[in-house]
Amino acid sequence: LNGFGAYFIALNRNKKSVTLDLKSEKGLEIFYKLVKTADVVLSNFSVGVTERLKIDHAHLSTVNPRIITCNITGFGENGPGRDRTSLDLVAQAMGGLMSITGQPDSPPTRAGIPIGDIGGGLMGVIGVLSALLAREQTGRGQHVDISMLDTQVSLLNYMVTMHALSSNIPERMGNGHMVHVPYHVFQCADGYIVIAIIMDEFWGKLMQAIPANDLDTEENQFQPGRLKNKGLINRRLNEILLTNTQKHWLDVLRSVRIPCAPVNDIRQALTDEQVLFRNMVVDVEHPLGGSTKIPGN
């Protein structure tokens, strides 16, 4: 649009910008003037750059004691790996995420979105909001140090605890779950749906909704039995679901409140009535003319 690509439009919407040479006295003077009335200074320079440019928290707090600074780096501002170079793929790989993503017989797989980058940004927001709250109580700003690697390890969540308790190393499980069954992607006559059963009562409702008498056994009523029979359950459900359309099965499953959904492509996701009702697709005008659709916040 007007010579600007999707990356630029998506990442720079509603932003004002100015180019400064922070290595020059005049550039630094202008930057400090901006800092006097700012709340937050965010950067993603490599470790040590803000100190060399004299725009780190120690310098900026003399200009504005209430300023909050946040630096998002690959590995954080201290530790033996702090000077390594990182990008999204590096964070996903080192943080363990790729090792549990993908099919069991496939190579490690990165997430379809740059969760290393986005996760770092989200953690940055959380850190800055916490610092803003602290500033309300103390009157002073502080520095927030965000590591993309830290973020990825944090997002592993219960996987870390499971490993610590059992010493087992989680492996790639495709679309399945290590505990819950059925919790998978299933093929219908015209597309894919997901079914997520995590409580025994939902299994009973599933057996009411889908003609699978051979699966409706006493053993399968409870999670340990379903986990034992995981392969059979997934295979039989897929055979049954192939006999009709996405809409048919989703209507049937939703009628008894089974957690389920279509596997949407991007176009389908952006035209979903709930997504549109919630204003999650918005038109943004370009200063040079025209507009484009982008995801809402």
115-138 vs 148-156: helix crossing angle, rounded to 10 = 100
Q: How many CA atoms lie within 13 A of 125 on its CB side?
A: 5
**Active-site residue, selected from the candidate residues 117, 150, 200, 272:** 117
- What distance separates the 2 farthest-apart alpha carbons in the chain? 79
Q: List residues bridging with 59 in a β-sheet.
A: none
Please give the Cα distance from 57 to 51 (Å, whole number). 8
Enumerate the H helices of 38-82 as residue ranges: 49-53, 57-63
Q: Are the CB atoms for 186 and 194 separated by under 8 Å?
A: yes
Q: Which two tokens stand for residue 3?
A: 């010579």
Q: Which two tokens stand for residue 297?
A: 């916040």
**Does the active-site annotation cover 150?**
no
Active site members: 117
